[in-house]
Chain A
Amino acid sequence: MIDREQVLHVAKLARLRLSDEEVERMAEELSDILGHVDRISQMDLEGVEPTSHVVALENVLRADVPRPSLPREAALANAPEPVDGAFRVPSPQAD
C-alpha cells in the first residue's frame, strides 16, 4: 500500500535520512499500520464536527505587559555550535 517511492517522499518532507534497510522496513510497517487505520477513512462521518481540542476554551487572553525573556547566554547554553551570540549552522547551499 505504501511503496518505496512514497516512503522516500515522506522522509524528505520529515527531514529524515533513512537507510535502504529502513526504507524497506518502513514501507512494510506503515502499510500494515495504515491498513488498520484505513477503516476510519471508510466511515461515513458527514456532518460530524471535527475535534481539535477537548476543553471548551476560546481566546485565552492576558495583559500585554513586557517581561524579561530567557537571557541570551541561557538560550545559547545548549547550542551545538554557538558563535558570537548566535546559533551557527552549515550553509544552506553546500559548495
Chain B
Amino acid sequence: MSGLLELTVAAAAAKIAAGEISREEYFAAWMAAAAGDELNAYLFSVENAGDYQVAEGPLSGIPVAVKDIFATEGSPTTAGSKILEGYIPPYTAHAVRQLDAAGARVLGKTNMDEFAMGSSNENSAYGPVLNPWDRGRVPGGSSGGSAAVVAGGLAPCAIGTDTGGSIRQPASLCGIVGLKPTYGSISRFGMIAFASSLDQCGPLTRDVTDAALLLAALEGRDPCDSTSVGIEGGILAPGAEDLKGLRFGVPAELASDAIDAGVRAVFEATLKRIEELGGEIAEVTLPSAEHGISAYYVLAPAEASSNLARYDGVRYGMRADGDGDLIEMYETTRAEGFGPEVKRRIMLGTYALSSGYYDAYYGQAQKVRTRIAQDFAAAFAGVDFVVTPTSPSVAFGLGEKTADPLEMYLNDFFTVPMSLAGIPAISIPAGLAQPEGGGPELPVGFQIAAPAFAEQKLLEAAFALEGSIGFAASTPGIPYLNGGGEPA
C-alpha cells in the first residue's frame, strides 16, 4: 500500500492509465491515509467511496483535497466559519467540476482560516491546523489545511485559494509547491467570495509537474464567472532542463527588508543555482511594493465587508435565537457567527468605505494598486521573472503572532504585491533553515513571479530550478518518502 502513496500525481496517473494500478486501490490507499489525519487538516471526508465512478481524463482516479471554501453539492461547505455550519450547497464550484471532468475525485474538504482571512490557519472556527514538520507550529494560511495534507502525506494534491498569499505562504511553510495563477485563469464560480478582485484558485502539490497537471485541468473560461478568461494555449507538462537566456529580477528593496537570516541564506543559495543553470540575475526596483500591505489591507477588507453582508441569518447558515426585530436578528447572528478576525476585517472595510474616508483609503489604495502593477510592468520590460523569498520566516509557533493582528498582516509582505498586480506566482521549496529562536530546520519557499498569463514559462523555469534543488529527493521527515502513510 505504502508504495502507492509515494507516487506523485503524474506518476500515479500514468500507472493508472497503463493499468498497472487500479483506481479503486489507489483511492482506497489515500482514503486510509486521510483517515489518519492527526493535524486537524480535514474538516470533512468523502463518504460514498463505494460507488466509484470517474471520468476518463488526465486525472482519472486521482483523489484531490479541496479547501472548504469551494462549494460541493450535497457535502458540507463551511469556509472555516461557524456562520456556515451545516450549510449544504445546492451546486458545485466550477474548479471542482473541472477536476471531476478530468477524472479526479474529491478526497475531503480541508480546514482553513475563516473566509480565507489569515496567514496561520489559527482563525478557523474549527481549530488550527498543525504543521506536519513540527506540530507546535502553524502550517501557514489561509489554505493551511490544503498545504498540510499534501506535506503530511494525507492527500496526493490539493486545491486552495490565494487572495494575498494564501496558497504560496502555506506551501512555503509546509515545504511543497503552491501556485497562484493569473487572476482570471480559473473560474471563481462556487468559490466563497472573500475579496473578489483578488481571489484566485490554484494547486498545492508535491512538485511542479503536478502543479502543471492540475492547472491544465482547472484553467478555462466559464460563463458563470465573467472575469474568467482561461489561459490561451492551455498548460503542458514542463520539461525545461536549464534556465539559459532567462533573466531573474531581484527587487533592490529586498536588501533592507526584514528577512530571517536562514531564509536569506537559502534565497541567496537559490540565486546561485539559477546562475549555474544558465540564468542571469539582475536587480529590479518595485518602489511602490512597500505600500502593498497597506493597500491590500484596505482593498481586501473593503471587498470582504461587502461580500460578507450576505450572511444575515435569512437564506442559509445559522441564525441566532432571540425575540428581537429583524435588525437585532442580523446583528446577533453576525456577532455569534463570525470569529474575531472576520469581525475585525468587516469593521476595517466598512470604515474604509464609509462616508468621508472613501477617498483617503479606498480610492488611494486603488491608485497604489495601479502603481504596483506599473512597477511590475516596468520590471518585466527588462527581466523574465521577479523572485523573492515567499515568506520572511519559516513556520512560526502556534499562538506566536495572534496577539498582534498587524504583525500577522506583515507576514504577507512578499506575496501581496503579485496579488494586487494580478500576476502569476509560484512558491517552490528551496531548502531548509533554522527558525530564529533555534530548533530543527524547517522548509523555506522561493517565490517566482511572471507576467500575466505566462504560466507555462513560469512552470518551465520552476521545473528546471526544482530539479537542481532536489528538495523532495533529499528531505527527511516527509512521510511519503519514508515509505509510510503516517504523519511525520
Within 8 A of A (CB), among B4-21: none
Query: Which residue on chain B has the smallest CB distance to residue A16?
Result: B334
Distance of A57 Cα from B225 Cα, bound (Å) = 12
Residue A55 contacts which of B183, B328, B343 (CB distance < 8 angstroms)?
B183
A16/B343 in contact, CB under 8 A: yes
B314 part of interface (Cβ distance < 8 Å)? yes
A26/B347 in contact, CB under 8 A: yes
B373 part of interface (Cβ distance < 8 Å)? yes
Collect the chain B residues with CB atoms within 8 Å of residue A33's CB: 297, 348, 405-406, 409
A37/B361 in contact, CB under 8 A: yes
Smallest CB separation, B142 vs chain A (Å): 18
A40 part of interface (Cβ distance < 8 Å)? yes
A50/B90 in contact, CB under 8 A: no
A14/B88 in contact, CB under 8 A: no
Collect the chain A residues with CB atoms within 8 Å of residue B371's CB: 45, 48
Given contacts A17-B331, A41-B360, A50-B363, contact A55 B422 (CB under 8 A): yes
Query: Which residue on chain A has the smallest CB distance to residue B290?
Result: A39
Residue B314 contacts which of A17, A79, A93 (CB distance < 8 angstroms)?
A79
Interface residue stretch chosen among B319-327, B385-393, B455-463: B319-327
Within 8 A of A (CB), among B234-293: 291, 293
Q: B interface, how many residues as a size bin? A: 35 or more
A51/B343 in contact, CB under 8 A: no
Within 8 A of A (CB), among B363-415: 363-371, 373, 405-406, 409
A29 part of interface (Cβ distance < 8 Å)? yes
B314/A15 in contact, CB under 8 A: no
Secondary structure at the B interface, as helix, strand, loop or mixed, is: helix
B331/A16 in contact, CB under 8 A: yes
B335/A50 in contact, CB under 8 A: no
B335/A16 in contact, CB under 8 A: yes
Collect the chain B residues with CB atoms within 8 Å of residue A80's CB: 313-314, 316-319
Query: Which residue on chain B has the smallest CB distance to residue A76?
Result: B315
A83 part of interface (Cβ distance < 8 Å)? no
Residue B364 contacts which of A36, A41, A90 (CB distance < 8 angstroms)?
A41
Distance of A28 Cα from B273 Cα, bound (Å) = 46
Given contacts A10-B347, A16-B347, A40-B298, contact A55 B184 (CB under 8 A): yes
B223/A62 in contact, CB under 8 A: yes
Q: Mark B435-470, 1 if CB is under 8 A from A, else 0.
A: 000000000000000001000000000000000000
Beyond contacts A16-B338, A94-B325: 5 other A-B pairs, Cβ-Cβ < 8 A, are: A33-B406, A36-B293, A41-B361, A50-B369, A60-B226
Closest 7 pairs (CB-CB, A-B): A54-B422, A50-B366, A94-B325, A78-B316, A80-B319, A60-B226, A17-B331
25 sample A-B contacts, Cβ–Cβ < 8 Å, listed by A number: A10-B351, A15-B331, A22-B340, A26-B344, A26-B347, A29-B406, A30-B348, A36-B294, A37-B297, A40-B365, A43-B291, A48-B367, A49-B367, A49-B370, A50-B363, A53-B227, A54-B197, A55-B229, A75-B90, A77-B90, A79-B316, A80-B313, A80-B317, A89-B329, A90-B324
Q: A residues near B, CB below 8 A?
A: 2, 6-7, 10-11, 13-18, 22, 26, 29-30, 32-34, 36-41, 43, 45, 48-55, 57, 60, 62, 70, 74-75, 77-81, 87, 89-94
